[in-house]
Structure 1
Amino acid sequence: MSWTDKIPQAARAYLEINRLDEVECVIADLPGIARGKAVPATKWEKQQFFHLPNSIFFQTITGDWGEAAGPDGFLEPDMILKPDLSTATAAPWAADGTLQVIHDAFDQKGRPVGCAPRNVLRRVCDLYKAQGWTPVVAPEMEFYLVGRNIDPAKAIEPMMGRTGRLAAGRQAYSMSAVDDYGPVIDDIYEYAEIQGIEIDGITQEGGAGQLEINLRHGDPVKLADEVFFFKRLIREAALKHDCFATFMAKPIEGEPGSAMHVHHSVVEAKGRNLFTGPQGGETDAFFNFIGGLQEHMPSVIAMFAPYVNSYRRYVRDHAAPINLEWGRDNRTTGIRIPISDPSARRIENRLAGMDCNPYLCIAASLACGYLGMMNEIRPDKRWTGDAYESDDEIPQGLYAALDLFDEAEEMHSVLGEEFARVYSIVKRAEYNEFLQVISPWEREHLLLNV
């Protein structure tokens, strides 16, 4: 059997009309950046794996390194990266025929590398499977289309629309606003179709140039792969039209932040939604999952909000929940129960920012629900009003969030001790890098006044 028989239909269709020139062997690092190698197609067909140093998981978003190598020191031993052919997909923006293939990381003894984000998510899903459960997720991706910004000292501005004016904010769900940057959206649709990724819908959000893409529900690893691919797809579509796509949690001052809301449900072996009972009512598993989110989400906020900028999104009365309340069809709560048929009953986590690593975000959210179900945690009373009037219940900065993460031993046992150790070290190194930078606010208000 040829390897081409093992790849998805969309990838095979792409190869029918494009001569394969190159294969991009990719893996997500802790920030979610695609690392790997580009391999000529003739070499790809002869190899079953390739190597990269394990230090790619010790790298910060700036390219510096956290001291996370362990007791043996910074030796950078090679990992063995094996392709998951089910992830093969086209890179339709490439000049020549190119496939992208996500790889899984193993050490030289064949064990999954504990700090590889895709392995972390797989570990959590395996815990569900050991109980006879199958988790199902559906992510919502918010992002901004902005003008080209080549000077980091300059404020980010919305992209220029077809009218010749900057994209306007406060136009949520406006079809005219979506049409304003229609050529970019057309290419997003086209690239997604070529890659075999199904989009559930695109809407204009409340920010200037802010859009939301919803993906169909499905397997957590597959959906995380799609978000991983989608970020690159959207960036490429934007660059083609002389603008940038950004997934920063808060790119523009005074505009809403960008979230990655995650919808969850859990099904048992026969396909029944565990959140719904035989008569259509809500089950103990449903309430326990909510209880787990309420109990454990503070300890994983550092994975939902992984950068200093992430916490600028958590602003009271500004389109991002800052609480752990749960409510029915209530977008002011951190945990929302959408309107649905009993068979499609699900729980929405509204706290994560779009700057998250999708593998780690989904893993952390599912881990909270898993602990709630295993420990039979009951949630607080349902919130019925404006939850912005409730108490702030999440850490308001990255360092405080990392302190909570470090103390969460039960969560470490779910996500993996090695991952928890490496993640904390790398994120603290990143925070220390940030502290070395003097901001315009400091120069404006402190230079001559203190």
Structure 2
Amino acid sequence: MRHEDKKNISNEQNLPDNSEDPLHPRSLRPKKSRSKPGYLDNVRGVKSWKQVREWLNWRGIEDIECITPDLAGIPRGKMMPSSKFTSNTSLSLPSALYRQTISGEYPEETGNFRYDPRDGDLKLVPDLTTLSAVPWESDPTAQVICDIVDTNGQAVEYTPRNVLKRVLRLYNEQGWKPVVAPEIEFYLIAIDNDPDNPLQPPVGRSGRTIAGGQAYSIAGVNEFDELIDDIYHFSEAQGLEIDTLIHEEGPAQLEINLRHGDPVELADQVFMFKRTLREAALKHGIYATFMAKPMQGQAGSAMHIHQSIIDAKSGANIFCNPDGSASPRFFSFIGGMQHFIPKALVMMAPYVNSYRRLTPEMACPVNTAWGYDNRTTAFRIPNSEPAARRVENRLPSSDANPYLALAASLACGYLGMMQELEPGNPTSHTANEGTTVDLPRGLLEAVALLESEPAFAEVLGAEFIGNYAGVKRGEFETFMRVISPWERQYLLLNA
């Protein structure tokens, strides 16, 4: 299939009934039938293996990718013919994958960080509700996100999707159901294979590189019209529900907001969206990056998380009293964020580069303050009707694994409600003035804070904390091997 034809693809419901375009991918063009089960029209997800077989056959799917997020949020897994996928094939991965750094290394054992001496298998269990097409592939291909279990079928608690599910079980035990809405910022970058060169924005349709200071600029978005079209079409074909897209402050920095919903479903969507965006950008000869701070002197990229909690039985927002006023649980949720988030920050700012975003005098908050419609605070309360009362966590960076960032943020709010913590007073002034930073300033400090909080062993799992801390320390050691331009410029002849 020609790449230029892909930008005209949306889901099959938007195709004319008499479409006979031979270039249209069969994965998005079901066979015609006078009557068929409704689930065959599902863009995303089915309920049973019988439906899987029919869904794949209906679309002529030849291959399927069984993927799962590692600690960094990178898709790992296996690809196979669809006939093998539906024939009770057992899928497995080595456990060491969840002890690997972002650079592909395996750190030395330290503290509670230990390897399985056998490096035994972990099993991939497909979540059929995540089944969707892979719209950028030329051959008819599908994908499915998998959970990770051990050989006895028990959930492996240190894997990202299971960490988030563990936190949600705690909410469920209280009769609560979290609702979240992520906002993901990212940069478009000109391709340059030399990592020593500073990153540059790409050339837009005007033939010029876009400058910074273009927040909410429609012209800035229009510079990349064809790419944006592909992002929307690819997302629609996978059932990813984009709410809005804007140009942000940095040069060629964009933000996409996803519709609110269940935390696991939204983490899945962020996981898939990152992959989708990278593929769409590569089609147009540029990179897309979710680095927290890709360009010196420019705004960093965040993953803001809007959070509310509803009563599972009544559907009412527990942040509200019956008269619409803010409830005690609303304030204790904020208190939990203020108290625990600095200790969980490494799950929301996972790399050395993440802490370059968390600096004073930039758009990012570097505090634990909260306030009403105050974007300079870490925890913002947007203007809303009482039923939509929510807390926006503005600290996570877009380089974070979405499953772990959501797990950490919700865990901190949960602990606040369970311990009935009181927040400080809301901040009505600019909270980012001065040079004070109320958060860990670097990766190792953040790792130590994660390990120091005993309450995290219950809500996040002791095995996960030990494993995650060991990997992060390993990543810091690989960073320390690299000599930076700053060191060469200022130390070479002066030290």
Amino acid of the structure 2 residue aligned with 1:103: C
Q: Could you give the per-residue CA deviations for residues 10-52 of structure 1, whole angstroms, max 9, x where no partner exists?
A: 0489858742111100010000000001111111111254111
Partner of residue 490, structure 2: 445
Pick closer, same or farther for the CA change 1:385–1:63 going to 2, 3 Å: same
Q: Could you give the per-residue CA deviations for residues 142-186 of structure 1, whole angstroms, max 9, x where no partner exists?
A: 000110121101110011111111111101001011001111111
Q: 2:421 aligns with which of 347, 367, 377?
A: 377
Q: 2:394 aligns with which of 332, 337, 350?
A: 350
CA distance in 1, matches of 2:114, 2:363: 45
Q: TM-score, normalised by structure 2?
A: 0.88
Shift of 1:70: 6.2
CA distance in 2, matches of 1:132, 1:117: 23
Pick closer, same or farther for the CA change 1:357–1:363 going to 2, 3 Å: same
Amino acid of the structure 1 residue aligned with 2:101: T
Q: Indicate whether 1:30 and 2:74 are aligned.
A: no
Q: Indicate whether 1:52 and 2:96 are aligned.
A: no
CA distance in 1, matches of 2:44, 2:250: 35
Amino acid of the structure 2 residue aligned with 1:377: L
Q: Indicate whether 1:266 and 2:309 are aligned.
A: yes
Partner of residue 150, structure 1: 193
Whether contact under 8 Å (1:249, 1:353) holds in the other structure is: yes
CA distance in 2, matches of 1:77, 1:6: 37
Partner of residue 121, structure 1: 164
Structure 2 unpaired stretches of 5+: 1-36, 46-53
Pick closer, same or farther for the CA change 1:206–1:264 going to 2, 3 Å: same
CA distance in 2, matches of 1:209, 1:138: 23
Partner of residue 294, structure 1: 338
Q: Number of residue pairs matched? A: 447
Partner of residue 420, structure 1: 465
Whether contact under 8 Å (1:84, 1:104) holds in the other structure is: yes
CA distance in 2, matches of 1:227, 1:162: 27
Q: 1:20 aligns with which of 41, 45, 61?
A: 61
Q: 1:280 aligns with which of 324, 337, 343?
A: 324
Q: 2:207 aligns with which of 138, 146, 164?
A: 164
Whether contact under 8 Å (1:26, 1:101) holds in the other structure is: yes
Shift of 1:343: 0.6
Partner of residue 286, structure 2: 243
Amino acid of the structure 1 residue aligned with 2:480: L
Whether contact under 8 Å (1:7, 1:88) holds in the other structure is: no
Whether contact under 8 Å (1:48, 1:83) holds in the other structure is: no
- Does 42-51 or 140-149 show the bigger shift? 42-51
CA distance in 2, matches of 1:52, 1:430: 22
CA distance in 1, matches of 2:487, 2:202: 28
CA distance in 2, matches of 1:98, 1:126: 33
Pick closer, same or farther for the CA change 1:14–1:173 going to 2, 3 Å: farther
Q: 1:75 aligns with which of 118, 125, 146?
A: 118
Pick closer, same or farther for the CA change 1:103–1:429 going to 2, 3 Å: same
Whether contact under 8 Å (2:56, 2:82) holds in the other structure is: no
Shift of 1:108: 1.3
Q: How does 1:331-410 map to 2 (within 5 A)?
A: 331-389=375-433, 391-410=436-455
Pick closer, same or farther for the CA change 1:423–1:6 going to 2, 3 Å: farther
Whether contact under 8 Å (2:67, 2:78) holds in the other structure is: yes
Q: How does 1:3-14 map to 2 (within 5 A)?
A: 9-11=42-44
Whether contact under 8 Å (1:84, 1:103) holds in the other structure is: yes
Helix, strand or coil for the counterpart of 1:222? helix
CA distance in 1, matches of 2:250, 2:356: 15
Amino acid of the structure 2 residue aligned with 1:263: H
Whether contact under 8 Å (1:276, 1:282) holds in the other structure is: yes
Whether contact under 8 Å (1:14, 1:194) holds in the other structure is: no
Whether contact under 8 Å (1:8, 1:87) holds in the other structure is: no
- Does 269-278 or 67-76 show the bigger shift? 67-76
Pick closer, same or farther for the CA change 1:98–1:226 going to 2, 3 Å: same
CA distance in 2, matches of 1:171, 1:196: 30
Whether contact under 8 Å (1:51, 1:79) holds in the other structure is: yes
Partner of residue 319, structure 1: 363
Pick closer, same or farther for the CA change 1:228–1:85 going to 2, 3 Å: same
Whether contact under 8 Å (1:276, 1:342) holds in the other structure is: yes
Partner of residue 177, structure 1: 220
Structure 1 unpaired stretches of 5+: none
Whether contact under 8 Å (1:170, 1:207) holds in the other structure is: yes
Amino acid of the structure 1 residue aligned with 2:417: M
Pick closer, same or farther for the CA change 1:8–1:379 going to 2, 3 Å: farther
Whether contact under 8 Å (1:168, 1:209) holds in the other structure is: yes
Shift of 1:421: 0.6
Whether contact under 8 Å (2:183, 2:305) holds in the other structure is: yes
Amino acid of the structure 2 residue aligned with 1:408: E
Q: 1:230 aligns with which of 253, 264, 273?
A: 273
Pick closer, same or farther for the CA change 1:383–1:39 going to 2, 3 Å: same
CA distance in 2, matches of 1:365, 1:242: 36
Partner of residue 150, structure 2: 107
CA distance in 2, matches of 1:411, 1:257: 28
CA distance in 2, matches of 1:317, 1:439: 23
Shift of 1:198: 1.1
CA distance in 1, matches of 2:238, 2:114: 42
Whether contact under 8 Å (1:121, 1:362) holds in the other structure is: yes
- Does 41-50 or 168-177 show the bigger shift? 41-50
